[in-house]
Structures are given as C-alpha cells and as structure tokens.
Amino acid sequence: RKPVSLPRLQEMRERGEKIAMLTAYDATFAAVADAAGVDCLLVGDSLGMVCQGRPSTVGVTLEEMCYHTECVVRGVRRVQGTVWVIGDLPFGSYQTSREEAMRSAAALMQAGAHMVKLEGGGWTVETVRFLVERGIPVCAHLGLTPQTVHALGGYRVQGRSEAEAERLRRQALELQDAGATMLVLEMVPATLAADITRQLPRCHTIGIGSGNGTAGQVLVMHDMLGIHLGRTPRFVRNFMEGAASVRDAIAAYVAAVKDGSFPDNTLHAW
Ligand code: KIV
Ligand code: NA
C-alpha cells in the first residue's frame, strides 16, 4: 500500500472511495489497524473515556495526547507505516489564542501526528487558517463536539432545526475556505451530513453517527470491537461478531465502509 497523504485522500475522494478511519491510542492496536487496511487513525481525546475512565474528554491534557500520539506512531512505523495519523487537540490547548493553538499543534506534530484536529466552528476559522498557513494540516469537527458537552446539554444530535442546519452548513464552508482538509461530522442528520459533503470538494467529511453520505467514517475502536465501560452509542456496529480476530474485525469494518454497507440507515443517532 502507498502511504496515505493529503494528495492521496483527495484522489480517493475524486474516485468516490470512502475513507476508513478508527481511533487508536496505543502501538499494538495501531499496528493491527494499519495491517487491516485502515486509511487514517485518530488519536482521539476519547482516550480520556476509553483509556482513563473519565466521564468526558474535558480532563485530557496536551501532554497525555502527545504521549498517546507517540505510542500510536511507533506502532504504525513498526509495521507498514501507511496510515495517516491525526492528533486531537485537547480542551484548553487551542481556545485562548492562535499562538497557543500553534504551540499545541506543534507539540502534536513533533509527537508524530500528520494532522491535528480541533472542535467547533465560527471562532475556530481564524485558528484553522493560522495553522494551515504555517504548514499544519487541520481536521475540523462540527455537530456534537464532546469537549463542549456541558454547554450543549448532553450527548445529543445536532443540526436538527433548519436554523441549526444552516449554521452548520455555513461553518463547514468557512472551515474549508480557511484550509481545513478534513471535517468530522458527529451526530448530525444524514441528509445534512450529505449536503455538507457535496458542498466541500476539498475538505473530506468523516461521519460518526451521521449516516453514510459522508466521504468517510470513523468509530472509536473499542466501540466497534464490542468492549466498553458504559453504554455504546446507538450508531455503533460490533464488528467482532462473526470475526475470528481483532484484525479480521477491523478489516470487516474497512470493507463495510468502502462498500457503503456501514453505516446502514438503521445505524444513526437521531
Ligand atoms: O476523540 C475522538 O475519538 C473523536 C472521534 C470520535 C471523532 O473525536
Ligand atoms: Na475527540
């Protein structure tokens, strides 16, 4: 396999090949996911819940994100090294100023990430432009943004009303214009996610609980392996069912994303 890069992701997009992404937090799972054909690995701040047992992602620090990014990158380099690695900027590491965001993003890039992700729209536009101008690929994140779960009032579907949907469409366009080349859409209605995807030819939408009209999909790896501390979200499929190994389960996920059979229209959040 050729290493995944921004030009390759753009080629995949133009061919209509879906992007298969999973989260990873450690070297061994990252290596297995790479070998199973995943295109992108997100070192998500969901590690706060999955690895650290926290109630939300709010408590995760930049230092912790760098540590897990280093672990994932080592795992990827030990095997094929073809995966595109995205590091999540944690809560409080990019909100104060563009300069703070740059310092935090640099730390994640130095830990081995190829791209950084940050949550929110509107105010994030100038931060995204600042990072992209300085050579850092950026993934944005709209819809349910877990770092602001308390302000949002819980883990619930976003963009249901026409006014909210219009705001998300506008914010998505602004983020593409600012240079974001990827956009996670979490828990938004499928029709809205598909609309936004058509609006953004140069910014690849990655859906989670947002239907299958996006350019790619992401799941928390532990969720799709059927292991969890509390509730699993409704939109998750357990790919360990019928799989002989973790590697087979991940390969089945990749195949289902690529052929469009995951998610089907029963696996949504709204
Ligand atoms: O932290 C995370 O795992 C995420 C994805 C679920 C998109 O942000
Ligand atoms: Na995250």
pLDDT tens track for 144-194: 999 999 999 998 999 999 999 999 999 999 999 999 999 999 999 999 999
- At 167, list the tokens: 């705001």
Query: 3-state secondary structure string, 100-153?
Result: HHHHHHHHHHHCCCCEEECCCCCCHHHHHHHHHHCCCCEEEEEECCHHHHHHHC
> Residue 243 half-sphere exposure, CB side, CA atoms within 13 Å?
19
Classified as helix, coil or strand, 87 is strand
Cα(116) to ligand 2 centroid in Å equals 11
Say whether pLDDT at 267 is over 70. Answer: no
User: Mean of the pLDDT values across residues 203-222?
Assistant: 97
* Domain residue ranges of the chain, discontinuous segments joined by +: 6-258
Tell which one of 19, 25, 45 to mutate to probe ligand 1, the residue whose CB is within 8 A of the most ligand atoms.
45
- The neighbourhood of ligand 2, an ion, using CB within 5 A, equals 44-45, 88
Q: What is the mean pLDDT of residues 13-20?
A: 98
Nearest CA to ligand 1 atom 1: 44
What pLDDT does 104 receive? 99
Which residue's CA lies nearest to atom 8 of ligand 1?
Answer: 44
User: Does the pLDDT at position 230 exceed 90?
Assistant: no
Query: What pLDDT does residue 235 have?
Result: 93
Does the pLDDT value for residue 268 go beyond 70?
A: no
User: What ipTM, to 2 d.p.?
Assistant: 0.99
The answer, yes or no, to whether residue 269 has pLDDT greater than 70, is: no
The CATH number fitting domain 6-258, selected from 3.20.20.60, 3.90.75.20, 3.50.50.60, 3.10.20.90: 3.20.20.60
Predicted local confidence at residue 270, as pLDDT: 56
Beta strands in 135-263 (DSSP E): 138-143, 182-186, 204-208, 216-219
- Measured from the CB, is residue 44 less than 6 Å from ligand 1? yes
In contact, 88 and 45? CB cutoff 8 Å: yes
- Is the minimum distance from the CB of 42 to ligand 1 under 6 angstroms? yes
Q: Cα(221)–Cα(23) distance, rounded to whole angstroms?
A: 5
Contacts 24+ apart (CB under 8 A), 92-100: 93/61, 93/62, 93/65, 94/118, 94/127, 98/126, 98/127, 98/130, 98/131
User: Separation of 40 CA from ligand 1 center, angstroms?
Assistant: 12
Please tell me the predicted confidence (pLDDT) of residue 231: 82
Annotated catalytic residues are: 186
Query: Considering the chain, what percentage of its residues have pLDDT values greater than 70?
Result: 98
Task: Output Rg (C-alpha) for the chain, integer angstroms.
Answer: 17
